[in-house]
Chain A
Amino acid sequence: METDWKKLADIARSRATIYGLLTAVFREVPTEALIEELRGPRFSGALSEMGMDLGDDFYVAPTSTIVDQMTVEFTRLFIGPGQHISAHESIFVDLDGGRGGLWGPKTVEVKKFIETTGLEYATQYTGLPDHVSVELEFMQRLASLEAEKWGRGDRQGAEYCLSVQRLFLEQHLLSWLPVFCDQVILQAELPFYLAMAELTKDYMTFERQRSLTVTAA
């Protein structure tokens, strides 16, 4: 059977894109540029096809207002002060002695996993190693590399990338991201973070199914 290299590369690239989007959403408070991009016709179209509604306000209010609202919401949801949804794997995963709050044994596992691939944490990155956006960005990197490998017809390399992604999903992201998303869905007041949490959760379902079925492309 002939391999459709381009299709495999496109799939990987698309997955990388979605991981990239989610990384941008959860990494930090939104910038005006991000809001502009999200309000653009391409993205809004894509969203409505997915059945998501960010509310009219999101499209009509001045960008600065949206940024302000979303900054307050982001801070309330993910930063605090006081009780908030701490977006770290070690906070959510209680197996294997990961009971220590921030910077738990899970944090160390994630950090080592990522560093084993040759990546390092950038010095300008000030968050914790197991922040949701870090795990998403890591997947984005792996999927991008996979796309590149398919593009060059490097089956072995691409499949290796896939296997690492599968391992990371199973050992880390899938074990907590859906629960995290449930919390966000419960707590979000703006349609944006609600929608993004739903999207992320559904995407994880998609990734789980894919991870189970696609053993080799």
Chain B
Amino acid sequence: MTKLNRRNFMKFAAGSGITMASGLGASQSAFAGSIKMQAGGRDFSPITKKERQAIPTACWQCVTRDSMIGYVEDGRLVKLEGHPDSIRTLGKLCAKGQAGVNQVYFPDRILYPMLRAGKRGEHKWKRISWDEALDLIASKLKPLRDAGTPELFMYQYGRHKASQAATMYDFMGAYGTKTIGNHTSVCEAAKWVGQESLWGGMYDNWDYDKTDYVVIFGSNQFETHTNHIPTSQRLIRAKVDRGVPLYVFDVRLTNTAAKADQWVPINVGQDGLVMLSMCNVIMNEGLYRKDHFKFMRVTEDYHATDEQKIAAVKKNVAKYTPEFAEKHSGVPADTIRKIARGFAKANSACLVTYRGTVMHYHGADQERAAMLLSAITNNLDRPGGRVMGVGAGWKHPSSPKAKVHKGLDVNDGFPDEAAYPTHHVSHQVLPMIKDGHAGRPKVYWWSCYNPGFINGDNKELQSILQDESLMPFLITSTIVYDESSQFADLILPDVTYLERWDWEDMVSANQIAEFYIRQPLVKPLGESRCQGDVWPELAKRIGFELAYTSKEDFVRQSCEMTPGVREAGGFEYMKKHGVWHDPDAKPNYGFYEAKVDVSGDGIILDEKTGVYWNWKKAGAASEAEAKKNGYLGTKGAKGAYVAQDIGGTAYLAYPPKTKFTKAGYLDFYSDNFAKKGLPAFPTYTPIPEHQKMAEDELNLTTYKVAVHTHSRTAHCKWLTEIKHDNPGWINTKTAEARGIKNGDKIRVYNDLGEITTTAYVTEGIIPGVIAISHHFGRKHSGVYGSGKRSPLPGEAAADPDVKNIWWNKHGTHPNAIIPNSSDPISGTQRWMDTVVRVAKA
């Protein structure tokens, strides 16, 4: 209590003598203009009329990126809904999307740049201005670039897509660093690698609107998926309205399995085996369709006849009898037969796989088995089948590239860790930096990424960030203080996706591309700033120019450059409508059947593979030399692929659009795999750790629930209210054997460590497994996410709803006992191969 009172306050005022006008302290007034008082003593009554705007934009909670409408009132976002004109989402938005409002206004959001003031992890910070922050970053980055070592600046991102990724890559290209990390290996890299080795591209989609049969392995479409809203609503409609059979193989009774004709429980890591066994049934019972064999390569011989190929497939899958598969997978042989027959006999059928199938040892090969099953039943890129995703192809401005362009070799795992890490080995980036053999960045900047939470052995990764001797300067762009940003040196307040510009391109579920944009619904809160607006500022300070001045400018230019969008009205049209698709477009199927003119200059036929390729485009010295070395023996020939000769016709077939050099066939016999000692043909390879499990050991699997993304929604109160704890799902018998009852506290442990949670004893999981979702156990992430008022001691203020938090559980994080360990084919993180023991705590 001070002595201030009405008698002495004037004296105090005179003594303090500081006014706003004196230009001290708050030198910047919050106001412009002057007070205009109405004459007369009329009542003062501010007008409270509200205005509401509907603004089309796009979601970003998960990678599905649904187009949507934001409703804004008085500059405040009040509601999000699906965009009714979108051919992808058909006006729907999921629980996470609906909770996007929480992203903007959660009480502990980071709104100002902050510089570390104490030791890393000591939680002492200083607010600084953006000018100071950018000057500081430039002072670190410019010397690296000037010294010809731009690769010592590393950037790693979690969720960057479309123009968010394009602007970032553009900046990095202009700066000169190729040390750019991603997060795909913890996501689904094995799936892409498996697909790329076959059909030369990736991102399969499932044509549910037209399909007659659906079989899903290890994918929980009704709760969570990379294309959730577009696909799941079509699947449930197919199931109920058209009676399409749906079979779901999963260790857990997911919501997807719950809606299936049958949940088929399957042992961990056996999806590929069951698929190969289905192939066995289909081949043996003559249920295959011959149609697609001409596009397949199944032996070393590029010129095998369809009959030879059929015989070879038959031979290759002969050992995977339903009885053999039953022994390992736990799926009854009769069930395998039933589903195989149904799948093969259906007019069209979708085979769906995801993390449950591929996040394993040889996960990429499991995906190859899925492709084999689809191919022999002629369900690849055909109506109603497993199709190649169709997304928008945007054109965009590009800045001049730096003269020196280099990268550190820290993205693809340790030597010999992965044969084809075409999507990198992101979970090993920090361990590799610690190791140091491939060099260490001097500046490490991560964005929309939480490496100390989302990777395996996450506490170890946090300790790498904390160690100042490994990387001297850490920058992060984030909206929330989390397990990783606590160790940064500089925190930049990122905007939420509801405050920024983007063009977007996620694939459609109906094979027609949709172009759509994201636009700010509200002004960025506080001093939060879009990275697309940061890049041009930073470039200027380092001494180069970009081809755009802001993210909005980038999006505007892209709209004016992109055919179709441009003619529709470009940027102004997109701002007004949010979405555009070509009204005359036909669904895109059967791309491989396109016949190609091979009469062009430089096009020659490679006798060995039957590939037509352009030796000039490939940069061969002469036609003679090109012929001598052949398509496979010429560097750059892959990029000069023209067509595949099949029975005298030149088909587009399956062009090698990715890092795999291959002919135009579906490479079910893969030289690429063979030469690295990997199975050339899809093969059942038991998971090593599972072969030596002791009687009392269990498999640990992780999963996502319908109301959370992996790590970016914990602070969304409406989601965390529904799901904030993650008990371990355990089968009644498995629990009984350990004396565990429903609700008991349990320990889950292995060599790496121990976590505790409660047991959810259920008939909805296969015995021998414990399943724990991977969203929780947050140490930070705001009061809603972690329940913590940290790092401040005691009770600090938060928003009014905090008083209504009724839950006191915040879950556990299973990643602490999951090692970072890669699929030797793809480099994917083997989330599902972990072995643990479980005991009552």
Contacts and interface: CB of A to CB of B under 8 A. Distances in A.
Contact between chain A and chain B defined by CB under 8 Å: yes
Contacts of B3: 49-51
Given A46-B11, A103-B75, A112-B48, A156 B29 contact: no
A159 B43 CA distance: 12
Interface in B3-23: 3-6, 8-22
B800 A125 contact: no
A43 B16 contact: yes
Interface in B761-815: 780, 782-783, 788-801, 803
B35 A75 contact: no
Chain B interface residue number, banded? 35 or more
Given A86-B107, A100-B105, A119-B35, A180 B797 contact: yes
A42 B780 contact: no
A207 to B, nearest CB: 10
A119 B789 contact: no
A186 B794 contact: yes
A75 B126 contact: yes
A20 B19 contact: yes
A199 B485 CA distance: 35
A217 interface: no
B46 A84 contact: no
B110 A81 contact: yes
Contact of A127 (B30, B73, B797, B798): B30
Contact of B17 (A17, A82, A125): A17
B30 A72 contact: no
B28 A124 contact: yes
A106 B118 CA distance: 36
Contacts of A101: 102, 105-107, 799, 801
Given A14-B13, A49-B3, A118-B34, A103 B792 contact: no
Given A93-B800, A117-B35, A126-B526, A49 B15 contact: yes
Interface in A97-140: 98-105, 107-109, 111-128, 131, 133-134, 137-138, 140
A43 B18 contact: yes
Contacts of B37: 117, 145, 157, 160-161, 164
Contacts of A134: 30
B167 to A, nearest CB: 22
A108 B18 contact: no
A54 interface: no
A43 B17 CA distance: 7
B248 to A, nearest CB: 39
Interface SS of chain A: helix, strand, loop or mixed?
helix
A79 B789 contact: no
Contacts of B20: 20, 23-24, 137, 140
Contacts of B29: 122, 125, 137
Contacts of B799: 86, 90-91, 99-102, 104
A63 interface: no
B586 interface: no
Given A81-B481, A94-B800, A108-B75, A37 B24 contact: yes
Contacts of B76: 100, 103-105, 107-108
Given A34-B24, A104-B105, A86 B798 contact: yes
Interface of B: 1-6, 8-22, 24-41, 44, 46-48, 50, 73-76, 101-102, 104-112, 114, 117-118, 123-127, 480-481, 485-486, 491, 522, 525-527, 780, 782-783, 788-801, 803
8 contacts: A92-B797, A109-B48, A114-B31, A115-B46, A117-B36, A118-B36, A145-B37, A202-B4
Given A46-B16, A84-B796, A117-B35, 16 more contacts: A33-B24, A45-B15, A50-B8, A72-B124, A81-B125, A82-B108, A82-B780, A83-B783, A90-B799, A92-B797, A101-B102, A118-B33, A137-B29, A137-B31, A187-B792, A199-B2
